[in-house]
Chains A and B, each alone.
Chain A
Amino acid sequence: MKLEMGYINIHDIQFSNESKVENGVLYVDQDAVKKLVLEDENIKSVTLDIAHPGESVRITPVKDVIEPRVKVEGPGGIFPGVIAKVDTVGSGKTYALKGMAVVTAGKIVGFQEGIIDMSGPGADYTPFSKLHNLVMVCEPVEGLAQHDYERAVRFAGFKVAVYLGELARNLTPDETKVFETYGVKEGIEKFPNLPRVAYVHMLQSQGLLHDTYVYGVDAKRTLTTILNPTEVMDGAIVSGNCVSACDKNTTYHHLNNPVVHDLFEQHGKTLNYVCNIITNENVYLADKQRSSDWSAKLCRLLDLDGVIVSQEGFGNPDTDLIMNTKKIEAVGVKTTIITDEYAGQDGKSQSLADADPAADAVVTGGNANMVIHLPKMDKVIGMLDYVDVIAGGHEGSLKEDGTIEAELQVITGATNEMGFNKLSAR
């Protein structure tokens, strides 16, 4: 399957009376966007704001981050089974607005949304401080159940991202890149001497608003299966997650998955990138056993030499991670895992809830319990009501002077387990 990605660089966002992209500036018609969001009768009101890199701005509680894209050629549309009709995506041509994102915010679960600081020490911990962000704070109608509120904000974000992506349909990209993987036999013939490598992508699917969707299907109701890597670039996987901010995979992460991009970088040179294997992280032990059995089964069936496994979240998903690793190694396929750590504020506790000698190649996104201090920001987009109770915060986290003392956990994307962030021990 072959996909050409066209990148359109955005270096500014401005409100205007017409939505358009011109000379790298995204102009947004607020009324048009609001009208689109308010089509959903569950949303009472929406406030739009723009946050630029380097500004003294704090965005919270952040739910999702989404990159606008548009399908220019080939079957299907962006976010198949969610916004576009179900059709296999990942081929043809897609354009993306780079350097910007749609950020959705609202007090959905409160303690399970995150913080994005656009400047200061907090900004260093999140990749989203480097983007021009169009922030949508959505308020629910009175009495709306939490899961309906989550769904409404999730869809509002996707709709606006698709609306903005559509503005790029007739533009000429600043840069294009082609991504292609092959059928099993074709790949072996093409690269007879290269190791066959796949990406085992674990999706958060614990339920109770910890959910990921694949072509619109709730991942907790799926069995481990295979995707062409380019399908994710068209939004085949989206986030519906309200979990600890530091290691949740936002939709932006899924669209720009660094494991996929880095494997493509080596594809045909040092390895043969075969496919992605997606598997879930459910709350029943039988599900964990079945899903990890299937991961190993598919690895063997595809005659892989090695896989990279990435996790989402922490705690009991550590067991899914270890089960996948043990079983895949047991069928003779080498593994490297990407995770993060909850090693206590002093870093001296056991990092993962589960462990096994087979997991002997580990990349960490960092210690989510590390305490950080964030200065007061001049402007808050959203509300600070939840800083004390956010996962990683504590009573008194929000000081009277507006500064915050909390664990790194509170920052969106800080210890991402796809390796999207830049935390390092050096």
Chain B
Amino acid sequence: MVKEIERAGIPVVHMCTVTPISMTVGANRIVPTIAIPHPLGNPALTHEEEKVLRRKLVETALQALTTEVEDQTIFEPKL
């Protein structure tokens, strides 16, 4: 899906936990997430902590979306 949307000219950020698969299938902008069963959350945190976590992940993704890349790039969120 990432590749097809990009083929249509729209840049995509792939947020995922298993970044090696994302690299293998050819995503260009990748943001690593928390875990496979809960990529964008962490049940071990309080609701307040989780909200901060989510915001950081989304902001990293938005930053990635607006960054020019020459090659496949992983954008590490500052958690």
Measured CB to CB, the residues of A under 8 A from B are 206-208, 283-285, 288, 316, 318-319, 322-323, 353-356
Q: Is the CB of B18 within 8 A of A208?
A: no
Q: Is the CB of A354 within 8 A of B24?
A: yes
Q: Which of A207, A283, A284, A316 interacts with B21 by CB under 8 Å?
A: A316
Q: Is the CB of B20 within 8 A of A322?
A: yes
Residues of B within 8 A of A323 (CB): 20
**Contacting residues of chain B (2-32) with chain A, CB-CB under 8 angstroms:** 17-21, 24, 32
Q: Which 8 A-B pairs have the closest CB atoms?
A: A283-B36, A283-B35, A319-B18, A354-B21, A284-B35, A354-B24, A316-B18, A319-B20
- Produce 1/0 per residue, B27-51, CB < 8 A to A: 0000010111100000000000000
Per the bound structure, the CA–CA distance linking A322 and B19 in Å amounts to 13
Q: Is the CB of B17 within 8 A of A283?
A: yes
Residue of B20, B32, B37 contacting most chain A CB atoms (<10 Å)? B20
Q: Using CB atoms, name the residue of chain A closest to B39.
A: A283
Per the bound structure, the CA–CA distance linking A319 and B17 in Å amounts to 11
Residues of B within 8 A of A355 (CB): 24
What's the minimum C-beta distance from B60 to chain A, rounded to whole angstroms? Answer: 15
Given contacts A207-B37, A319-B18, A319-B20, 9 further A-B contacts (CB under 8 A): A206-B36, A283-B17, A285-B19, A316-B21, A322-B20, A322-B24, A323-B20, A353-B24, A354-B18
Residues of A within 8 A of B24 (CB): 322, 353-356
Q: Is the CB of B37 within 8 A of A208?
A: yes
Residues of A within 8 A of B32 (CB): 285
Contact residue range for chain B?
Answer: 10 to 19
Cross-chain pair count, CB within 8 angstroms: 36
Q: Is the CB of A354 within 8 A of B20?
A: yes
Q: Could you pull out 6 A-B pairs where Cβ atoms are within 8 angstroms?
A: A206-B37, A283-B35, A316-B17, A316-B36, A354-B24, A356-B24
Per the bound structure, the CA–CA distance linking A354 and B17 in Å amounts to 14
Per the bound structure, the CA–CA distance linking A356 and B36 in Å amounts to 21
Q: Using CB atoms, name the residue of chain B closest to A285.
A: B17
Per the bound structure, the CA–CA distance linking A354 and B18 in Å amounts to 10
What's the minimum C-beta distance from B44 to chain A, rounded to whole angstroms? Answer: 12
Q: Using CB atoms, name the residue of chain A closest to B33.
A: A285
What's the minimum C-beta distance from A362 to chain B, rounded to whole angstroms? Answer: 15
Given contacts A206-B36, A207-B37, A208-B37, contact A284 B17 (CB under 8 A): yes
Residues of A within 8 A of B19 (CB): 285
Q: Using CB atoms, name the residue of chain B closest to A350.
A: B25
Residues of B within 8 A of A353 (CB): 21, 24
Residue of B21, B32, B37 contacting most chain A CB atoms (<10 Å)? B21
Per the bound structure, the CA–CA distance linking A322 and B20 in Å amounts to 9
Per the bound structure, the CA–CA distance linking A207 and B38 in Å amounts to 12
Per the bound structure, the CA–CA distance linking A206 and B37 in Å amounts to 9
**Contacting residues of chain B (34-75) with chain A, CB-CB under 8 angstroms:** 34-37
Per the bound structure, the CA–CA distance linking A322 and B37 in Å amounts to 20
What's the minimum C-beta distance from B10 to chain A, rounded to whole angstroms? Answer: 24
Per the bound structure, the CA–CA distance linking A288 and B37 in Å amounts to 14
What's the minimum C-beta distance from A220 to chain B, rounded to whole angstroms? Answer: 11
Per the bound structure, the CA–CA distance linking A208 and B37 in Å amounts to 9
Residues of B within 8 A of A283 (CB): 17, 35-37
Per the bound structure, the CA–CA distance linking A283 and B21 in Å amounts to 13
Residues of A within 8 A of B35 (CB): 283-284
Per the bound structure, the CA–CA distance linking A389 and B59 in Å amounts to 38
Q: Using CB atoms, name the residue of chain B closest to A355.
A: B24
Residues of A within 8 A of B18 (CB): 285, 288, 316, 319, 354
What's the minimum C-beta distance from B34 to chain A, rounded to whole angstroms? Answer: 8
Per the bound structure, the CA–CA distance linking A316 and B37 in Å amounts to 11
What's the minimum C-beta distance from A265 to chain B, rounded to whole angstroms? Answer: 35
Q: Is the CB of B37 within 8 A of A319?
A: no
Per the bound structure, the CA–CA distance linking A79 and B20 in Å amounts to 36
Residues of B within 8 A of A319 (CB): 18, 20-21
Q: Using CB atoms, name the residue of chain A closest to B36.
A: A283
Q: Using CB atoms, name the residue of chain A closest to B24.
A: A354
Residues of A within 8 A of B21 (CB): 316, 318-319, 353-354
Per the bound structure, the CA–CA distance linking A284 and B32 in Å amounts to 10
Per the bound structure, the CA–CA distance linking A172 and B18 in Å amounts to 52
Residues of B within 8 A of A285 (CB): 17-19, 32
